[in-house]
Structure 1
Amino acid sequence: MRVAVFSAKNYERALLNELNAGHGHDLVYFDALLEPETASLAAGFPAVSVFVNDAVNRDVLRSLAQGETKLVATRCTGFNHIDLEAADEFGIRVVRVANYSPNSVAEFAVGLLLALNRKIHRAYNRTREGNFKLDGLMGFDLVGRTVAVIGTGRIGTIFARIMAGFGCKVIGFDVHRSAEFEEIGGRYVDAKGVEEADVISMHCPLTPETYHIVDARTLGRVKTGALLINTSRGGLVDTDAAIDALKSGRLGGMAIDVYEQEADLFYRDLSSAVIPDDVIQRLVSFPNVIVTGHQAFFTREALETILGTTLASISEFEAGRPLAFEIAAPGRARG
């Protein structure tokens, strides 16, 4: 099957070509993001593969349908970038990657926490310039501290297990309780429970209900000096409110691998450009903020699973078999 693959980087292309040997699809790569201005590139392709920052909105889906596209396969778990109701209206089926290596994201979140708390990013820059002083680099022991996990699915529970191994007390926020999370000593609390947390780590999907779940009101409750980690979706955190909390000292630091307006920035080399986004420029100027470019998933194991699952879903569609990882609009049964 001919597949238009948008936003595929060189490392993805090499691995897709390797894994595609067992599927035989005709993969055509486009450097551009999928958006209304580029959707015409997919004309004549029965299947389109996208990534997290491609804008698969109503206008794009209408254009894809006009070009006879019947399947959108997103190479990620989240699907907030896809208008599922419009896809259903235009007769386009959608598949995602439901599971890959949850360890990759959980381990990266722990890495961000350690770097932020112990000021490793600042120490690295100092020693490269010959400055070996310790002033301003003091952190705190994690043992005995309280870590709030917002979203206790597979990734959140693995993160919680690691933090429990550090000797932390783990509390959880989720509408769905996880027996595994409770087995490792996790305790569920309501919104006021955030007051207990020394560390808050985000691991829930972005939905209308979770948009800006960490806002000015939430941040007004946190313990002074708490650290905020987000490796899930940028829209979970009200960035302006987080900046205010950093400026006031309410937040002691923040490490983010995702950002609300990342589509215009991430996965691009802008080192020689003037970045017009004042918010991200402000964030990277703070000594107690770490920003990485949506790389938490980026391990060999995770990428192989992501791309292998995507190709398998396309093969299922081509063969007319049930789609194991289909996602549908609310109220519509999976086909």
Structure 2
Amino acid sequence: MKIYAFEVRDDEIDFFSAISKKLNVEISCSKEMLTPDNIDLVDGYTGVTILGQYKYDAKMLDALKAHGILYLATRTIGYNHIDVEYAKKIGIHVCNVSYEPNSVAEYTIMMILLCLRHYKASLWRTNVNDFSLEGLQGRQIKDLTVGILGTGRIGKMVLQYLASFGCKLLAYNLSQNEDVKKIAEYVDLDTIYKECDIISLHLPLTKDTYHLINKDSIAKMKQNVVIINCARGGLMKMEDLIEGIENKKIGALGLDCMEYEEGIVHQDLKTDIISNREMAYLRQFPNVVHTPHMAFYTDAAVRSMVYGSVEGICAMHQNKQIPNQLS
């Protein structure tokens, strides 16, 4: 079987080489995104592995099927960039990957601390030899109430880490986890908004969670609330975040992702003009910490993403049902 890997970063190449030898499959790698302009590259291949920078809608999926592709694996946990239902309809099997939740969970804790201790503003000052303290007084996690939206593997681990800080923990999820109940109280969304000093998002992006954080939900939150998003940018409505920062309802934002970041994150754009003007505006505030969608980015996670995508394609080809199979 032949697999074509697109959007391949330099740090993934050795892992692709290793899994190719381990499973005895031929893997070609390209740094390019797979688009209609280069789709002829997949001729003669059975499976494709991608990242999340391009939308695989019905038209693109039809084109893949016409070129003989039967298996599509995304090297991400999120899969909102793929029309999974349409893929199932036309007989393209799709899977995502999983990796240990530690990387994103640890990053979330870091983001919370950066926001609470005004790290961005203090770093700016220190770089110009301004060592004053005015406006930099922080808050202690132990004195605050933290709400976690989504208690899957990552959200659960964030709660476990936070439990050692001694803060009050609230959680929201459609289904409840017995282990989570030992350290946090499950409540409804309105209670999270009303009572929490810090709210961290760990939900998938679906039609039900799209723009979950918006003008109405922000209005229900506490004054000076800290919001953390290391999940998906589309969970938050950008213009409403800007309004919340401008009117000081939101005390700080820790964002590893933003809406409409595709084509921007993971690119070197030092000499270019950023096409997302709302991103450019929001990220300049001293109380907004923005990083380039890298909470996942550890050596262990990258290995799991590469291996999981190739192993997933091979398993689907062998008609094996796998936990991460979507269609």
Q: Which residue of 2 aligns with 1:219?
A: 218
Tell me the CA shift for residue 182 of structure 1: 0.9
Q: Secondary structure at the match of 2:115?
A: helix
Amino acid at match of 2:5: V
Tell me the CA shift for residue 21 of structure 1: 2.2
Q: Which residue of 2 aligns with 1:35?
A: 35
Q: Which residue of 2 aligns with 1:319?
A: 318
For the residues of structure 1 that align with 2:43 and 2:168, how far apart are their CA atoms? 53
Name the CA shift for 1:178/1:111 in 2 (closer, same or farther; >3 Å).
same
Name the CA shift for 1:310/1:141 in 2 (closer, same or farther; >3 Å).
same
CA contact (8 A) 2:145 2:196 kept: yes
Q: Which residue of 2 aligns with 1:260?
A: 259
Q: Secondary structure at the match of 2:148?
A: strand
Q: Which residue of 1 aligns with 2:162?
A: 163
CA contact (8 A) 1:109 1:229 kept: yes
2:2 is the alignment partner of 1:2: yes
Amino acid at match of 1:223: K
CA contact (8 A) 2:261 2:276 kept: no
Q: Give the 4+ runs in structure 1 shifted more than 6 A.
A: none
Q: Secondary structure at the match of 2:109?
A: helix
For the residues of structure 1 that align with 2:148 and 2:239, how far apart are their CA atoms? 22
Amino acid at match of 1:51: L
How many pairs are equivalent? Answer: 327
Name the CA shift for 1:158/1:323 in 2 (closer, same or farther; >3 Å).
closer
Q: Which residue of 2 aligns with 1:230?
A: 229
Q: Which residue of 1 aligns with 2:288?
A: 289
Q: Which residue of 2 aligns with 1:245?
A: 244
Tell me the CA shift for residue 324 of structure 1: 4.2
Q: Which residue of 1 aligns with 2:81?
A: 81
Q: Residue by residue, what CA displacement relative to the aligned partner does 1:263-283 show, whole Å, maximum 9, x if unpaired? A: 120110001111122101101
Q: Percent identity?
A: 28
Q: Which residue of 1 aligns with 2:66?
A: 66
| Mean CA deviation greater in 126-135 or 44-53 | 126-135
Amino acid at match of 2:246: K
Q: What RMSD, in angstroms, separates the aligned Cα atoms of the two structures?
A: 1.5
For the residues of structure 2 that align with 1:318 and 1:205, how far apart are their CA atoms? 27
Is there any run of 5+ residues in structure 1 with no aligned partner, and where? 329-335
CA contact (8 A) 2:76 2:305 kept: yes
Question: Mapping of 1:183-222 within 5 angstroms?
Answer: 183-222=182-221
Name the CA shift for 1:322/1:221 in 2 (closer, same or farther; >3 Å).
closer
Tell me the CA shift for residue 125 of structure 1: 3.1
Q: Secondary structure at the match of 2:141?
A: coil
CA contact (8 A) 1:6 1:29 kept: yes
Tell me the CA shift for residue 130 of structure 1: 2.3
CA contact (8 A) 2:176 2:186 kept: no
